[in-house]
C-alpha cells in the first residue's frame, strides 16, 4: 500500500518535469525578448564635421552628434542604425518615413509642424559670417551684408531674412568646402557657415588657414533630430530620445563627451 503510494507520487513528479521545463523555457524566451534592444534607422548628415560626417572608409557616420544620438538611445534600450546621406536627402527621408529621423536639424517656422521634435537640443552652434583675412570689418550682420555677394550651402537652414532681403546677392554652393573655395578665390565677398565646422576645415587646409576668418556672428542655434510624422513611432522616439538625452546630462556623461570632443577638434 505504502509502496504503491510512493510509486504514484514518483510518477506524478516525473510527469511534472516536462511542464516545468516548458515553463522555464517560455520564461527564458520572454526575458530574452524583453532584453533585446529595439532597433531603429536614422539618417545622418554626411558632410558636416565635427558633428556628423561619413567616415573615411565609408563605413558609417562619425562625430559628436552621432555619439550623442547613439549613447542617448542606448540608455533607453534602443539600438540605432544609420544611413549616411546629404542633408537635403536626410530631411526628405525623415519627412517621408524612409528613416525614422534626420540629424542635425534646426527648428524653423516652416518645418516646425513637418516633423516631431524632442524638447532639448542636442547641442548649440554659432552661425557666423566669414570673409577674407585682412579686411577691416569684424562686426558683420545681415543688414551689413546688403550690397555684398554672399555664399551659402544648398539645403542648410539660414535666417528667413537672409533669403527675403533683395539687397543681398546670394550665391549657392553644394557644400561648406566649396563655399570656402569660392571665398578664397574671390568669387564671393562673404559666406555664411557654422563656426566649428568652418574652422575645422580652415585649420586643416593650408590654402584656407590664415586667409579666411570669421568677421561676424548671426545667431547661436540649437540642433535636433527631426523625427518623422509618417510613422507612428516618430513621436514616441522623440520622447524616448529626450529621456535618453536627459539621462546623459544627469549622470555627467554628456559633459564628459563634450569636453573630449572639444579637445579633439581644438575648440
pLDDT digits (tens, 9 = 90+) for 155-198: 898 999 999 999 999 999 999 999 999 999 999 999 999 999 99
pLDDT of residue 264: 83
Architecture of domain 126-221: 3-Layer(aba) Sandwich (3.40)
> Domain residue spans in the chain?
38-124+222-265, 126-221
When pLDDT is cut at 50, 70 and 90, the band that residue 25 belongs to is: very low
The pTM for the full model equals: 0.81
Quote the mean pLDDT of the chain: 90
Kindly report the CATH class assigned to 38-124+222-265.
alpha beta
pLDDT of residue 167: 98
- Does the fold of domain 126-221 match that of domain 38-124+222-265? yes
Q: Is 149 left (phi over 0), alpha (psi -120 to 50) or beta?
A: beta
Torsion of the alpha carbons at 144, 148, 151 and 152, rounded to the nearest 10: 40
* List of E strands, the chain: 38-45, 47-48, 52-54, 61-62, 78-85, 101-105, 116-117, 123-132, 149-153, 169-173, 190-194, 212-227
Amino acid at each position: 500500500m505504502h509502496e504503491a503510494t510512493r510509486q504514484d507520487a514518483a510518477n506524478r513528479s516525473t510527469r511534472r518535469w516536462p511542464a516545468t521545463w516548458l515553463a522555464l523555457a517560455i520564461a527564458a524566451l520572454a526575458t530574452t525578448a524583453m532584453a533585446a534592444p529595439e532597433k531603429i534607422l536614422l539618417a545622418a548628415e554626411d558632410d558636416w564635421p565635427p558633428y556628423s560626417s561619413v567616415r573615411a572608409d565609408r563605413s558609417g557616420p562619425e562625430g559628436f552628434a552621432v555619439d550623442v544620438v547613439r549613447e542617448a538611445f542606448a540608455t533607453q534600450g534602443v539600438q540605432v542604425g544609420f544611413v549616411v546621406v546629404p542633408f537635403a536627402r536626410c530631411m526628405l527621408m525623415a519627412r517621408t518615413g524612409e528613416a525614422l529621423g534626420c540629424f542635425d536639424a534646426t527648428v524653423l517656422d516652416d518645418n516646425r509642424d513637418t516633423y516631431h521634435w524632442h524638447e532639448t537640443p542636442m547641442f548649440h552652434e554659432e552661425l557666423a559670417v566669414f570673409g577674407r583675412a585682412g579686411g577691416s570689418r569684424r562686426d558683420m550682420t545681415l543688414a551689413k551684408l546688403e550690397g555684398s555677394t554672399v555664399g551659402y550651402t544648398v539645403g542648410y537652414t539660414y535666417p528667413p531674412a537672409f533669403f527675403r532681403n533683395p539687397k543681398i546677392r546670394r550665391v549657392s554652393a553644394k557644400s561648406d568646402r566649396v563655399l570656402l573655395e569660392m571665398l578664397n578665390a574671390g568669387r564671393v565677398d562673404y559666406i555664411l557657415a557654422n563656426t566649428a565646422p568652418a574652422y575645422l576645415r580652415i585649420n586643416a587646409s593650408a590654402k584656407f588657414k590664415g586667409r579666411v576668418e570669421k568677421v561676424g556672428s548671426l545667431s547661436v542655434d540649437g540642433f535636433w533630430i527631426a523625427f518623422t510624422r509618417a510613422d507612428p513611432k516618430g513621436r514616441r522616439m522623440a520622447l524616448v530620445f529626450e529621456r535618453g538625452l536627459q539621462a546623459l546630462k544627469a549622470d555627467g556623461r554628456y559633459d564628459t563627451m563634450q569636453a573630449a570632443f572639444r579637445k579633439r577638434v581644438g575648440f
